[in-house]
Amino acid sequence: MKATTSALHEINGRHKWSVTLSAGVHGPCILRDSAVSFATRSEAEEDLETFLRLEYLGNGIFVRSKEDIDELLAAAVRGRDECKGFWFGKVQWQESDEVGCNWFFSDFRYDIVGCVGKLLSEIDSMRRMYRIPDERYAVQPRRLS
């Protein structure tokens, strides 16, 4: 898919991007925005560049690495006063759940009042928008004796 328009927005001191994607002259257009908000404009710009290189699966869903999603979760927390000290565990693969998401984070520090509520909509957006590579078919390294 090719970006036909993109923009950066500042909302309440956080930064997001939006993009219109096209599959060609007669293909459908898709409007997407960043699943999370970023503490800085440069973080949002960098994420948009990464997003534009992702594999598109259809229905508004894109393949993203576990490491990228780990970073997006960290970016969602970064710069929020109410989230100081909050962290997520590493993203792990799972069978697709009720919304089709095939990843989860193993743990999080949940004793930070107010932080989780601020992040729920962003986490939900990420779960609906991104899939990680299916680890059932990954090549496993073998030990040669």
Note whether residue 68 is domain-resident. Answer: yes
Note whether residue 144 is domain-resident. Answer: no
pLDDT 10s digits, 48-60: 999 999 999 988 8
Based on the structure, what is the number of domains in the chain?
A: 1
| pLDDT attached to residue 40 | 97
**Bridge partners, 29 (sequence order):** 22
Note whether residue 79 is domain-resident. Answer: yes
The parent domain of residue 130 ranges over 2-135
pLDDT 10s digits, 55-113: 999 888 999 999 999 999 999 999 998 888 888 889 999 999 999 999 998 766 655 66
pLDDT 10s digits, 9-47: 999 999 999 999 887 666 678 899 999 999 999 999 999
Burial of 68 (0-12, 13-18, 19+ CB in 10 A): middle
